Amino acid sequence: MAYGLFLGCLIPNRYPGVEWSTRYIMNKDHLNVPLVDIEEFSCCPVPGIFYSVDKETWLTLAARNLVVAQDEEVQLLTLCNGCYMSLHKAAETLQDSKKRSEVNKVLRGVGKRYTGEEVPGDGRVKQYRPVQVKHLVEVLANDVGIDRIEKSVTTPLTGFRVAVHYGCHYLRPSTTHTIENPNRPHLVDDIVRACGATTVEYDEKLACCGAGGGVRSHVKELADALTADKMKSIQAAGADVIVTVCPFCLLQFDTAQLTLPGINTPVVHISNMLALAMGADPLFLGFDLHNVSVNPILRKLRRRTTA
Amino acid sequence: MSGETEETFIGGQKTLVVEEKVVLDKEYDPEFVAEIVKYGGRDVKTCHQCGNCTGVCPYSLKTLYKTRNIIKMCQLGLKSLVLQTPWLCATCYRCYEHCPEDINAAEVMIALRHIAVRDGFIPDFIQRVTRNVRQYGQSVAPAREVEILRTQLELGPLSYAKPRYGKTINEVQYIMRAMGYDKLVHVLDEKPKEKAAGAAADQAAEGEVR
């Protein structure tokens, strides 16, 4: 089944390099995963606001996006932990027929109806399963496979020390469909290693970046205080670069470091890192918009490739 | 004032630290536990105060608000004491992963947010993001420098600038209106239609929040 690319809000509006990188690594010269562009998607909607303020509105707006995917017959590929959790949770919640009919009452007003994706049945009764919502990491590690990523790497990032940040909503809350063990995640580390880099262990690796749940918007100093703790342990571990799998964590690491004197470790999205390893020109990765300069790792990369 | 001190911590957040406090009748809300359940939290009365949630909570380490204490105050029905706190939660769900009673403190916080908003505690950012979603269909407002870079990267225009995207924005606005969300967070039509104009007038009569 084809992947509908769900970009969300932050990536197109703040980190377009992540969008470019994702298209680059998925194109037919590299991982060859066809992506379907769908115009009709709105905000997922953002869990820190809508899920926190009114769950019914959250569910209906999320269901609207799921209907779009259902009608286009795609599974959703999300590049953001927030979008992933919001849509995934909504698809699970809509398994409840009472909730589904409540949501459909409102969706009728916009000419939409959520049933889920039709699956082949015995021919007498139509059978449905929830619209599949997948995180980029899940698609890369499980659907594409680490082997194929390894084979597609043309510029191995040998010698790079990477601090992986998983982020909360990729891992938690753990449900029956959680991607991996929330206490011992390894898929992002595996992908980074497939790029030829080494990953470093650091304290509080699985802790929040500080931004989630509306805290960044509400009390920025508190969010930054949390990021400061993580940054200290990342620096102590001697990392060259932080790799996140979520643009909101990327934003938080990238902006909070401005308030931390003497700490500046570049932060990139996993798709940026893969694009570099697959030979993309760094000019296209949108690093100009990053607050913390990515140049140190680009210089290191250039030295290595020209040597 | 004995037993109550005001403390300030990171971000200028103030809290009443309760020490040897006598709970007065007027502070006790017997319906509070049921209200939390109504908005999707578990029954907090089953919490036995082991403190696992607090040990793994990133914000409990940084602030005077401890997850366990907030759950305790919920058990005691001290609604007025907890309604300022729910926005200090990253909803990282570590508490949930470590709770032996399966309380899911993060979901309790989310239920508290529901209650707080309905009691009139609506932080500015809720309204800001809601306006963005109403206007652009997305929670983040477009930025000029990003649009220039998008052109250079040949990524195409942002959603809001696409001619057919108006339909999506209309659908999003319709859903928010139909669910009463606009009214709940006090963000109403910028260009009100007849019906919405009436609602806006009601709103003005009630007094603008912030």
Per residue in B125-157, pLDDT (tens digit) is: 999 999 999 999 999 999 999 999 999 999 999
* Residue of A269, A287, A89 lying closest to A188 (CA atoms): A269
* Residues on chain B touching A50 (C-beta within 8 angstroms): 181
- Reported ipTM: the value is 0.94
Handedness of CA B9, A262, A14, A136 (dihedral sign): negative
Q: Which helix (H) or strand (E) holds A66?
A: helix A55-72
pLDDT recorded at residue A289: 95
List, in order, residues 6 or more apart from A267 with CB less than 8 Å away. Answer: A241, A242, A243, A244, A250, A253, A254, A257, A290, A292
Strands (DSSP E) found in chain B: 4-9, 13-18
B179/A58 Cα distance (integer angstroms): 10
CB atoms A210 and B58 under 8 Å: yes
A53/chain B closest Cα distance in angstroms: 5
A134/A247 Cα distance (integer angstroms): 16
pLDDT per position as a tens digit, B68-79: 989 998 998 988
Annotate A150-191 with DSSP letters as a single string. HHH-SS--TT-EEEEE--HHHH-S--TT-SS-TTS--HHHHH
CB atoms within 10 A of CB A47: 24
- Backbone angles phi and psi of A108, in degrees to 5: -55, -35
Residue B151 has which token pair? 């052109």
Q: Taking a contact as any Cβ pair under 8 Å apart, which residues of chain A between 58 and 97 contact chain B?
A: 60-61, 64
| CA-to-CA separations, A163 to A31, A58, A148, A203, B113, in angstroms, rounded | 24, 33, 23, 11, 33
pLDDT per position as a tens digit, B170-196: 999 999 999 999 999 998 755 544 444
pLDDT at B104 over 50: yes
Handedness of CA B93, A140, A76, A212 (dihedral sign): positive
> Largest alpha-carbon pair distance within chain A?
67
pLDDT recorded at residue B24: 76
| CA-to-CA separations, A67 to A107, B186, B188, in angstroms, rounded | 9, 28, 26
Q: Is A247 on the interface with B (CB under 8 A)?
A: no
Please check whether residue B139 is in contact with residue A9, taking contact to mean a CB–CB distance below 8 angstroms.
yes
Helix axes A247-256, A81-93, angle to 10 degrees: 150
Percentage of chain B beyond pLDDT 70 is 79
Handedness of CA A33, A37, A38, A41 (dihedral sign): positive
B38/chain A closest Cα distance in angstroms: 11
Q: Is A258 on the interface with B (CB under 8 A)?
A: no
Q: Which of A52, A112, A169 is the best substitution to test chain B (most B C-beta atoms within 10 A)?
A: A52
* Residues on chain B touching A13 (C-beta within 8 angstroms): 138, 140-143, 146, 158
HSE-CB of B112 using CA atoms within 13 angstroms: 28
pLDDT at B101 over 50: yes
DSSP code, position A130 = P
Q: Which strands, in side-by-side order, build the sheet including A133-135?
A: A35-36, A3-6, A75-78, A133-135
Please check whether residue A244 is in contact with residue A253, taking contact to mean a CB–CB distance below 8 angstroms.
yes
pLDDT recorded at residue B200: 44
pLDDT recorded at residue B206: 37
pLDDT at B9 over 90: no
Annotate A202-247 with DSSP letters as a single string. -TTTTS--S-GGGHHHH-HHHHHHHHHHHHHHHHHTT-SEEEES-H
* Residues on chain A touching B176 (C-beta within 8 angstroms): 57, 61
pLDDT recorded at residue A230: 95
A96/A101 Cα distance (integer angstroms): 9
* Residues on chain B touching A208 (C-beta within 8 angstroms): 58, 90, 92, 94
A231/A202 Cα distance (integer angstroms): 10
Q: How confident is the model at residue B13 (pLDDT cuts 50, 70, 90)?
A: low
* Residues on chain B touching A60 (C-beta within 8 angstroms): 175, 178-179
| CA-to-CA separations, A171 to A72, A185, A281, B52, in angstroms, rounded | 28, 8, 32, 18
B184/B199 Cα distance (integer angstroms): 12
* Residue of A19, A10, A42 lying closest to B162 (CA atoms): A42
B4: which strand partners? Answer: B18
Verify cis geometry, omega within 30 degrees of 0, for the bond prior to A45.
yes
HSE-CB of B122 using CA atoms within 13 angstroms: 22
A133/A141 Cα distance (integer angstroms): 15
> Largest alpha-carbon pair distance within chain B?
65
Q: How confident is the model at residue B2 (pLDDT cuts 50, 70, 90)?
A: very low
Q: Which helix (H) or strand (E) holds A5?
A: strand A3-6
pLDDT per residue rounded down to tens, chain A (307 residues):
899 999 999 999 999 999 999 999 999 999 999 999 999 999 999 999 999 999 999 999 999 999 999 999 999 999 999 999 999 999 999 999 999 999 999 999 999 999 999 888 888 888 999 999 999 999 999 999 999 999 999 999 999 999 999 999 999 998 777 899 999 999 999 999 999 999 999 999 999 999 988 999 988 999 999 999 999 999 999 999 999 999 999 999 999 999 999 899 999 999 999 999 999 999 999 999 999 999 999 999 998 877 6
Place of tokens 């990327």: A250
HSE-CB of A1 using CA atoms within 13 angstroms: 18
List, in order, residues 6 or more apart from B6 with CB less than 8 Å away. Answer: B14, B15, B16, B17
